[in-house]
Amino acid sequence: MDQDIPWWKSGILYQVYPRSFQDSDGDGVGDLRGITGRLPYLKSLGVDAVWLSPVFPSPMDDFGYDISDYTGIAPLFGTLADFDALVAAAHAEDLKIILDLVPNHTSDRHPWFIESRNSRDNPKRDWYIWHDGRGEGAPPNNWLSEFGGSSWEFDVRTGQFYYHAFLRSQPDLNWRNPQVRRAIHEVMRFWLRRGVDGFRVDVMWHLIKDERLRDNPPNPDWRFGQQPYQQLLPIHSTDRPEVHEIVAEMRGVIEEFGDRVLIGEIYLPPEKLVAYYGQGLAGAHLPFNFALIAAPWNAQAIARLVDAYEAALPPGAWPNWVLGNHDRSRIASRVGDGQARVAAMLLLTLRGTPTLYYGDEIGMPQAAIAPDQVRDPWETNLPGLGLGRDGCRTPMRWDASPGAGFSSGAPWLPLGPGLATCNVSAETDLPTSMLNLYRALIALRRAMPELALGDYESVEATGDLLAYQRGHRGTRMLIVLNFGCDPALFDVADRAGDIVLSTFMDRTGEPLKSTLTLRGSEGVVIKLAG
């Protein structure tokens, strides 16, 4: 692989949800020592970087995304010494550690907010977004919380409202205040000095709001039964032009420390997403592209998505792809087991940095959560809309034991169905398992610069078939994916080459003939001759 290529371009990211990866002390909740103990597994899988969802001190109203101390570790997960040991152990295995930075909001129990709400003239009052209402208890404007209801909360003590894009216990910081910016920059430096290799910045597109607090307009496409937040178009509360200055400043902090990465969580369509690369690519290295998570699962839709994204990228920008995360249902349940294998091949052969979500490599399904087991505030605030995220956050299945090898105690969430066969131990021993497909795809990507670094060329999207080529320095790979359940034929034309991997893992070395027959839900990677 080219030595002068940044690691985050040729590498593969792996998201760990710390509560659910490995419990080392039997309390049913995963922790840092547990993650450290599983680093050999991640190394053997072949990934390059581990992204940790938040591990900071927090009341856990939103399971760590409500931070009460940006420079500590929640006792639930361990200590700063445990974190330092994790970073050291990861680096010894040539693995990177990426932290989840949550700069849009804090917990209402963060010392900054406690000071801010103490009085209107407190020095930290302007660290958050406070405003008078507009008469008889009405909030300052019509903005809505993503977790339901108004995004404004009235504070009796000081007689003003504060803004919260999510839970009322998650007040938004005021990024128009230079002191806030400097404080978060120092938080970044604190962790970068401890050796972290970058940040995934939570809700980056939310960071700054309209200075005039104008009402958001109604969404003409919203229908009853959809998420209430979507009733309005959040044009004044998200994706403001000024956000790019903030991202550029964060990138500047990253650049102080050399070979680190800045990733942005941004749920926007490709034509808006790509603006977060910044002027002169001085923004986020990787504005996360979640398009695959929401796309209709068929060849034509995926082809249009890839082509539109590639066309929208600024010159020199590096793409990225995500199939699953802690906020969306599991890929295996979204598309079915067979197509989940096709999805794996798609993710790991498209141009750009792929991000894997823990457990997807063994085909973990979305777990049904009984009403009395629901933990997610999104579901408890808006019941009946299917917004709960608990089902994609269930503990990692290491083996078929009662605690799945995750914990010696009762896991914080139920394990879900299919434990006997869907676990690391069982799949390690099965040559054609999902886990071994992921291992083979990752090994192939690492061995073939065409897949890790090559260009992308669309070949065909006909019926259920999607075909594209990856090329690098005169060598080419052809990928053909069948998004249907029935066999399909691909016209090879004048191409010559051999299959190097099938999602069924049984056609290695098979030469191309004039027509390539793919089984239902099969994908193949072909090394082209010449």
Token pair of 524, please?
Answer: 């193949």
Q: Give just the sign of the alpha carbon dihedral 268, 274, 276, 279.
A: negative
CB 35 within 8 A of CB 42: no
Q: Measure the CA dihedral 375/62/99/288, to 10°.
A: 90
Backbone angles phi, psi at 424, to 5 degrees: -60, -45
Q: Distances from the Cα of 452 to the Cαs of 2, 45, 363, 444, 499, in angstroms?
A: 10, 16, 23, 9, 18
Name the catalytic one among 211, 256, 429, 486.
256
Euclidean distance between CA atoms 297 and 511, whole angstroms: 29
Name the catalytic one among 31, 48, 66, 202.
202
Say whether 361 is catalytic: no
Residue of 160, 163, 187 whose CA lies nearest to 176: 163
CB 292 within 8 A of CB 306: no
Say whether 256 is catalytic: yes
Residue 251 region, left (φ>0) first, then alpha (ψ -120 to 50), else beta? alpha
Backbone angles phi, psi at 191, to 5 degrees: -80, -35
Q: Side by side, which strands form the sheet with 49-52?
A: 286-287, 261-264, 198-201, 96-101, 49-52, 13-16, 353-357, 320-322
Residue of 176, 170, 233, 177 whose CA lies nearest to 209: 176
CB 227 within 8 A of CB 385: yes
Catalytic residue numbers read 202, 256
